[in-house]
Amino acid sequence: MTWSAARNARWKRRTVWFALLLASRSIAQPAAGDTPEAIRAVFVGTYTAAQLGLGSSESDSPALQSYALYPYVQAARLAHALQRAAAGAGEADRLTEDFLGAHGREPVTGPLRRAWLDSLARRAQWAQLLDHYDAASTSETLACAQLNARIALAQTSGLEAAITERWLAPYKLPSECEPAFQWLREHGGIDDALVAERARRLLSNGQASFARVVAQRLPRAQAAPLNRWADLIEKPRDSIDALLADPNAGVESKQLLDAFARLARNAPREALARFDALRRTRLTTPEAASKATRALALGLAWDRDPEALSIFADVASADLDDDALEWLVRAALWKQDWNAARSGMAVMSSARQKDPAWRYWTGRAAEAGGEGALARERYDSLAQDDNYYTAMAAARLGKRVEPHVERLPPDEEAIERIAHAAPFLRAHELLLCGLRPLATLEWNAGYAALENARKPQAVHLAARWGLHDVAVATATSQGVFKDYALLYPRPFRKEVAAAVGLTRIDEPLLYGVLRQESLFRPDATSLAGAVGLAQLGYSTAELTASRWQLPRPSRADLYDPETNIRLGAARLATLIEKYSGQLPVALAAYNAGESAVERWLPERAMDGDVWTENIPYNETRAYVRRVLWHSLVFGWMEDAHPKSTKSWLGSVSKGE
């Protein structure tokens, strides 16, 4: 795991002043008898300085040099030296090689190993690069550098095949690959057929823009069908219209089906408007027509279009796999066609029928059809599960829900042995130093080396150290799901209580959101840029602060638990109010955004479970279900009393 840019900047701002003092003033470092806290403080400052190229080993005290994390300082200094190394930097290479030899595959070596190989490639130190190259753990850039090294050293046995394999990658490669490709061209290895094959692989991977660049090397006649394929990917509607207007234009059925599926996914009504014409003129075989029908039915179902169900009826049974059948059933639920829903579930695979969702909906269909005994049987079958559908079935039976606890008994002796293994000692120290991502890397290395029989006890250790995301991930890998005291912690009690006092939302609900969003990691960062415990984007946080008359946060503030939890609770409270207390809708908006939810709201009121089941985003649908279940568990943990989920039976409507 790597530092997010924002987190890294915040951390460096906090410590850089100390690093600069270390480098320029030779401040007093702790003696051997000084406190662990003092040594950690000096380590953090020295490590930060080392990353900036400041300080040297001569000023490091014996206490620091004997500290378990001191190799991180050494590695950071070596990595910085390698960045600046000139062609003949033999000393930096020698020291790095010695360090890597001494520390093997410890996590501390990972960034340094990559930095060294990058430096060797930049300085054209080809022999050393080949000696230390590891195909299993290097980047595309280094993979091509290795090919360039083989060319430079005339190690050409099997080289043409290796470069050809790299050339045919279905994605754009870094510029460092070009020398190898040029060598292959000069040796007659890249002809028009191979260029066309690469373009086809890129197009099959959806990489239309770069495929056009590759196709420029081909004669116009050979490039034309590839560019037409790129048009189908980038402009499916216009390309389909052009093909309908020109019956003689050639196109492969697979390419046309892919374009139609893209159009159906993004604009299902436009796909529907062109469907009959395509079946008459282009997709004339039963197989092609059925696949197009399936794509259209799915697009309409995702859009909650009432015509979806009738389109599904024309899909050949061979194309109705479980995934398609799930959306057929959802379309039937949206339309309140319980017979169609039952028919769809009846032909799912036996494994899919056993899924809690479809056992629940079989019960709902039976209840709607007046088969009370069958409905109760299906609902009762969910009683031993612990999930959203368990709670929904209990609500329909008028019962309360109590989670089923399955404890993972702690073995204190085993936990102690794990804690004192070298990787775990380093992980704990890194955690205490505030270097959470590095701590996780050390943890993962230590966990991988454990005997299988001892691995479950690592869950307890992670939980005790506050590595809640690691604890949950480790428990999942060991099949531990129902030790709720272990896996549903309630950290940040003061901050949560303050947020609840401000917003008046339920504390179990807020904990449910925090658990699902970040597993209680204050430094969590998503690919979309949401950060912190409640996973807030900066613009959302800023707007929420304004609405609630709270101080405007900086981006760094969003990593502060108090600020992030307060703004997350305020955001959730705003959504609950906006959607008139319709909790599934508010949760969906928290995850997917209000604009998406506005598209999903029905014109007429419908049951909340039907609406939730038809959320088109898989992530958001799962999010709503999980947060509701998490909130139930956190509520139960407060007083150990079974919980009513009757309120979950409410309806969803667009409202005013």
Cβ neighbours for 219, distance < 8 A, ≥ 6 positions apart: 192
CA–CA–CA angle 385, 386, 389 (5° rounding): 80
Question: What amino acid is encoded at 184 in this protein?
Answer: L
| Beta bridge partners of residue 536, listed in sequence order | 531
Residue whose structure tokens are 């704990």: 428
As a whole number of angstroms, the distance between CA 234 and CA 200 comes to 15
652's tokens: 């969803």
* Distance of alpha carbon 545 from alpha carbon 499, whole angstroms: 13
Which residue from 68, 94, 42 is spatially nearest to 424, judged by alpha carbons?
A: 68
Q: Using an 8 Å Cβ cutoff, are 328 and 296 in contact? A: no
Which whole-number Å values give the CA distances from 354 to 381, 382, 397, in the listed order?
10, 10, 20
For the question of residue 594 being annotated catalytic, the response is: no
Backbone angles phi, psi at 495, to 5 degrees: -65, -40
> Is residue 459 within 8 Å of residue 485, measured between CB atoms?
no
Nearest-5° angle of CA 251, CA 253, CA 257? 110
Amino acid at 412: E
233 neighbors 210 (Cβ within 8 angstroms): no
How many CB atoms are located within 10 Å of the residue 177 CB? 21
Q: Which residue has the tokens 């709503």?
A: 624
Residue 109: strand, helix, or coil: helix
Q: Which of 69, 27, 23, 28 is nearest to 50 (CA)?
A: 23
The Cβ-side half-sphere exposure at 114, using a 13 Å CA radius, reads 11
Phi, then psi, of 400 in degrees rounded to 5: -95, 160
Cα–Cα distances in Å, from 561 out to 7, 15, 445, 573?
13, 19, 28, 18
Catalytic-role residue among 326, 442, 495, 517: 517
Q: How far apart are the first and last CA of the chain?
A: 45
**Alpha-carbon distance 473 to 148, whole Å?**
40
Residue 196: CA atoms inside 13 Å, Cβ hemisphere, count?
A: 12
Q: What positions carry a catalytic annotation?
A: 517
